[in-house]
Chain A
Amino acid sequence: MASRQSRHELLDRELIDREFVSCGKIDDVETKGDGPGADVATILVGPGAWGRRLPALVRWIVWHIAGRDVVRIPWDEVKSIGSHIQLRSLASELGLNRIEGRLAKTFRKFPGGA
């Protein structure tokens, strides 16, 4: 999968895992070099990544509420690029949707929760 996508093109694109489950958005990327044409090496997901794009005061509030977690996904994980960006693995295998996983355990205790 071509990694020469510009940061601008990739930011905020929705990620879906192998089973088409939404698992966040591309909140930032790391490139292999400098300059606008550099290859994307890693996708960053989480409040620690998107918080950096916010004004200082809002960032401070967000990081105090949501934390500063960042999940790093190697570009090789990208299977296809369309209206969504599909990954080769499951969200749980990549450390995505962790809050979802914890909440799901609680919901499974309720009748009709799962």
Chain B
Amino acid sequence: MLYFYFVVSFMSSIMLPYEMYFYASGGIEDRWKPADVAINRTIVIIGFALGGFVAAALVMNGAQLYQPHHIDPQLPGTATFGPLQTFGATGLRLALIGMFFAFAGAGIETAFSAAYGTAQFFGWPWGKYRKPAGAPRFTLGWVAMFVASGIIMLAGVDPVALVEYAIVFSVVILPFSYFSVLRTASDRRHMGPFANGPIARVLGWFYLALITVAGLAAIPLLIATHGGKG
């Protein structure tokens, strides 16, 4: 049961719905043209491969380093013990620098994603290319997200538990976000010559089926495993 809980969590963490909103909004802001399709495909393929590789490395790191000592990491910083043990102080410094940029990037991404989603839902002016006075509610939106997340962290909420809950609840709504993108990407009326071909369609529908099963199983698994604690 615990195994399946982590399978669902990993699948969700690979593709969270907010990433779609963020990426798509960035595409509109940067005025992507058909010429940008090739570079985006490259970014996605390399990015997902690299992300999967890093995720697998972290799992292996956990299994080899922590499990033999019966350590159950409760803080993200515990992950730095891996490079510390292998590469010493240099490894620790590199890991901390990497984590700083990863956390800062994720913070900016989620804050902007929330502001993008809210502004687009209500039809407010939005975009980071606008000055704050040109999109004031959008600006207030991402600032409010930063402040709210700061307050949540200062209130002493367990960050790992919070991330796990966020990921599990995200996979519940992921099929809905993913389905609309999949349909649009396969529609020649919208995408013209860039519409998904037969192989991409089959893989796309297969992944939809996979995340739908994960979405249906997520909440029962969350309850059954007491939030992944067994």
Residues on A facing B (Cβ under 8 Å) = 14-15, 21-25, 97, 99-100, 103-108, 110, 112-114
- Convert B118-134 into 0s and 1s, putting 1 for each residue whose CB lies closer than 8 angstroms to a CB of A: 01101111100001111
Contact A108 B137 (CB under 8 A): no
Once A108-B133, A113-B131, A113-B132 are accepted as A-B contacts, the answer to whether A14 and B123 lie under 8 Å apart by CB is yes
The 8 Å CB contact of A25, one of B123, B131, B133, B135, is B123
User: What is the CB-to-nearest-CB distance from A79 to chain B, in angstroms, rounded to a whole number?
Assistant: 17
Once A112-B131, A114-B131 are accepted as A-B contacts, the answer to whether A24 and B136 lie under 8 Å apart by CB is no
- Convert B126-157 into 0s and 1s, putting 1 for each residue whose CB lies closer than 8 angstroms to a CB of A: 10000111111101100000000000000000
Residue ID in chain B nearest A27 by CB atoms? B123
Residue ID in chain B nearest A16 by CB atoms? B123
User: What is the CB-to-nearest-CB distance from A50 to chain B, in angstroms, rounded to a whole number?
Assistant: 9
The complex places the Cα of A108 from the Cα of B122 at a distance, in Å, of 23
Contact B123 A104 (CB under 8 A): no
Contact B123 A23 (CB under 8 A): yes
Contact B133 A114 (CB under 8 A): yes
The complex places the Cα of A112 from the Cα of B132 at a distance, in Å, of 8
Q: Interface residue count for B (Cβ, 8 Å)?
A: 16
- Convert B57-96 into 0s and 1s, putting 1 for each residue whose CB lies closer than 8 angstroms to a CB of A: 0000000000000000000000000000000000000000
Some 18 contacts from A to B, beta carbons below 8 A apart, are A15-B123, A22-B125, A22-B126, A23-B123, A24-B124, A25-B123, A97-B124, A99-B137, A100-B135, A103-B136, A104-B134, A105-B133, A107-B132, A107-B133, A107-B139, A108-B133, A112-B132, A113-B133
Contact A104 B133 (CB under 8 A): yes
The complex places the Cα of A97 from the Cα of B135 at a distance, in Å, of 10
Residues on B facing A (Cβ under 8 Å) = 119-120, 122-126, 131-137, 139-140
The complex places the Cα of A104 from the Cα of B136 at a distance, in Å, of 6
Contact B123 A110 (CB under 8 A): no
The complex places the Cα of A22 from the Cα of B121 at a distance, in Å, of 11
The complex places the Cα of A97 from the Cα of B138 at a distance, in Å, of 12
Contact A107 B136 (CB under 8 A): yes
Contact B123 A24 (CB under 8 A): yes
Residue ID in chain B nearest A17 by CB atoms? B125
User: What is the CB-to-nearest-CB distance from B113 to chain A, in angstroms, rounded to a whole number?
Assistant: 17
The complex places the Cα of A35 from the Cα of B179 at a distance, in Å, of 34
The complex places the Cα of A104 from the Cα of B123 at a distance, in Å, of 16
A15: chain B residues within 8 A (beta carbon): 123
The complex places the Cα of A46 from the Cα of B95 at a distance, in Å, of 49
B134: chain A residues within 8 A (beta carbon): 104, 114
Contact A103 B125 (CB under 8 A): no
Residue ID in chain B nearest A84 by CB atoms? B123
Contact B136 A22 (CB under 8 A): no
Residue ID in chain B nearest A100 by CB atoms? B136
CB-based closest 10 A-B pairs: A103-B136, A114-B133, A25-B123, A107-B133, A104-B133, A107-B132, A24-B123, A113-B132, A22-B125, A108-B133
